[in-house]
Structure 1
């Protein structure tokens, strides 16, 4: 019985840790590094927060595509161009990066700290 309990604990720990681990092939970038890229026309900037969060505070040129809509709206993005993804803290944008990776996007950047780190 004790082995089963340890097995369940191990599975839960692996699940939680995997949620916070960086995604292979996804670059992490600071807000300042992203600010230096904002004028680059070869980069697509996506904000995956809710429309209300986006309306309250957003940065140009980020386009709002809420995380829950992203799988159905990937066709609005060019797979050949870099995609920079932001959310409030960096957690949803990391999940969005996983979605984009599964959809075949090659160059994905997650903004560390999200809008909460934007000064």
Structure 2
């Protein structure tokens, strides 16, 4: 065990697409502008600089996505420190091939 340096679990965008069929919490940590430009329907926009304000149910599993996977990994680490079970989506929206919607 690595103590504080726990690896962030991650999944691919295709794995995420399969999991979207079930109820889940998906946080999009991109800027509101990027989010409005196109996001996954179930995604809730919580920009990385506001991730510390996230207040979800502590026993829910949280999935985090951004544009490439870097910001979401950073957000996932912060959420893990806050006690959430977090999974990062590798490759982010740049790898996403499923449906997206624009606007809020």
Q: Give TM-score, length-normalised by structure 1.
A: 0.74
Higher RCO, Cα 8 Å, sep 6+: 2
More helix by share: 1
Aligned residues: 93
Alignment of 1:94 onto 2:73: yes
Query: Unaligned stretches of 5+ in structure 1?
Result: 1-22
Tell me the residue number matched to 2:94: 116
Query: Helix, strand or coil for the counterpart of 1:109?
Result: strand
Query: Unaligned stretches of 5+ in structure 2?
Result: 98-104
Q: Following the alignment from structure 1 to structure 2, what is the Cα–Cα distance between the partners of residues 96 and 62?
A: 15
RMSD of Structure 2 on Structure 1 (CA): 1.2
Query: Can you list the C-alpha shifts for 1:38-79, whole angstroms capped at 9, x where unaligned?
Result: 1221x210000000000001011000000101102x21x111
The alpha-carbon deviation at position 26 of structure 1 amounts to: 2.4
Q: Give TM-score, length-normalised by structure 2.
A: 0.84
